[in-house]
Amino acid sequence: MRGPHNIWRLIRTGATFERTGAMKVALDAMNAPAHIRVAARILGWPFAWLGYKGDPNLPPVTRAITALGPAYVKFGQILSTRPDVVGIELANQLSMLQDRLSPFSQDQALRTVAADLGRPVGTLFSEFSEPVAAASIAQVHRARRIDNGREVAVKVLRPGIEAAFRRDIDAFHFAAAMIEALSPATRRLRPRDVISHFESVVAGELDLRLEAASASEFAENTSGDEGMAVPVPYWHLSARRVLTTDWAEGIPMGDIAALKEAGHDLPALGGRVLQLFLRHALRDGYFHADMHQGNLKVASNGDIVIYDFGIMGEIDEYTRRVYAEILMGFIRRDYERVARVHFEAGYVPRDRDIREFARALRAVGEPIFGADASRISMANLLAYLFEVTERFGMATRTELLLLQRTMVVVEGVARSLDPQINMWEVARPVVESYIRDNLGPRAAVRDLTRAVQVLGRFAPLLPEFLERRMPELLRETPAPAQPGKGRGFWGGVVLGAVVALAGAVLGAWLL
């Protein structure tokens, strides 16, 4: 329950941030005004002794978050998707936050697997290792199937993690409501929506059957993509608290020295990572939203192996088209086009000046395109864009945040492989291909076909609809329109019937 009892949890959280020195770092990153800093200091200092000490060897923010527990670690990772809230610098720090939690016992893991799969572990796996990775929500074991000897990864949820997350999320909701009430200026950043987004992500990660479904869908979407591989989930060895997939064999993408020693083409890998991400986002509207080096490996044949599908992003077809047009406008340095797309999509309030907005976008883009290849950065572009959004009163677009954040992460991965990569030149063929297929004449014909098919499906319902609604429609009919000023009620009915009939005929022909 989101009541005052959460105040104690928030005091403990603030005390931990004060004790570890994370409070100052966080306030600096978000450019908090002086009165907020003073208030935080006055309220935090007397309670600092109540805070957790944490690991003094870690940086302040990481130290505080890991000390507070799994929910805060996961919240830190999710908050890294909101640079508009915490600032670009702190978001980058949070995106690199590593789970430094101790694994739970092997016996507990074996009991969980046996309970959820309904059979003793020894009858399912011939080998079952100690944990090889421990994260905020689950840990992973390396195992071998007893039926075919295939090596697999078995992910097991932490005991009691669901109840722990419910308690902490409740406190987060309470804090977000207080922030909005006490500081109306923060409402543009929609802190309550941020917490709701966090809650929805965590809910998906707490049921490993949903992660299996994400892996399965992603594998189907990308089955024809060359140069990548996805570990396949095994449904009969998975349940709510257990997920079994193929073992992701390969060199971790963060191990640059090992990749070089193995003879892999690092610039080619960097370009392929970026193009794969853009292709999945634009073509499928469903993309891996946590593509950091820890979730990527390079197989011996050079394929990029993508795994861990706890956080996935999804955008609808209309938003994909808008996003592609914005990207293409920046690539071509057509700022008027970028501005027009923002206004047409409703991203900028109608009372703002479109020409002034275009000039602001030019100020965003030109310094980047005037730089050498190593400095052409999507991360810099997004940093400037967030400044523009505040100036022009643009509300936070939650459907784009995960996409934008993932692009920044993927850029970091690509640059670690090829510091001289020109992000825009690598992205250009993917974006142009999408626009050619989805915004050209063929796309218009395809959209019209879909509309006619829908009309064809609903046309048989028109007679029944008119019979049931005709008396009401007649009663609500306005005065007859003056000649030449409109079709009137019956003209609209006749026109609707003609359109429906045409839709039925064309839909039947197209189907």
Residue type, position 15, single letter: A
Residue that the structure tokens 């993508």 belong to: 306
State how far the alpha carbon of 111 is from the alpha carbons of 117, 162, 165, in Å. 10, 17, 22
Give me 2's structure tokens.
């989101």
Q: In what order do the strands lie in the sheet with 125-134?
A: 125-134, 138-145, 151-157, 242-246
Angle at 78 between CA 74 and CA 79, to 5 degrees: 115
Classify 178 as helix, strand or coil.
Answer: helix
**Cβ of 61: how many Cβ atoms within 10 Å?**
22
Residue that the structure tokens 């309904």 belong to: 118
| C-alpha closest to that of 311 among 227, 378, 401 | 401
The secondary structure element, H or E, covering residue 152 is: strand 151-157
Give me 48's structure tokens.
């600092």
Strand extents, DSSP E, 220-299: 228-229, 242-246, 251-252, 286-288, 296-298
Tally of residues, the chain: 511
Give me 112's structure tokens.
């969980």
Question: How many whole angstroms separate alpha carbon 347 and alpha carbon 291?
Answer: 27
State how far the alpha carbon of 499 is from the alpha carbons of 466, 492, 494, 506, in Å. 15, 10, 9, 10
Residue that the structure tokens 């039925």 belong to: 504
Q: What is the DSSP letter of 375?
A: G
Angle at 404 between CA 323 and CA 61, to 5 degrees: 170
N-terminal to C-terminal alpha carbon distance within the chain: 52
Q: Which one of 290, 303, 353, 418 is the catalytic residue?
A: 290
The secondary structure element, H or E, covering residue 306 is: strand 304-306
Dihedrals phi, psi of 103, to nearest 5 degrees: -70, 155
Active-site residue flag, 290: yes
Which residues participate in catalysis according to the annotation? 290
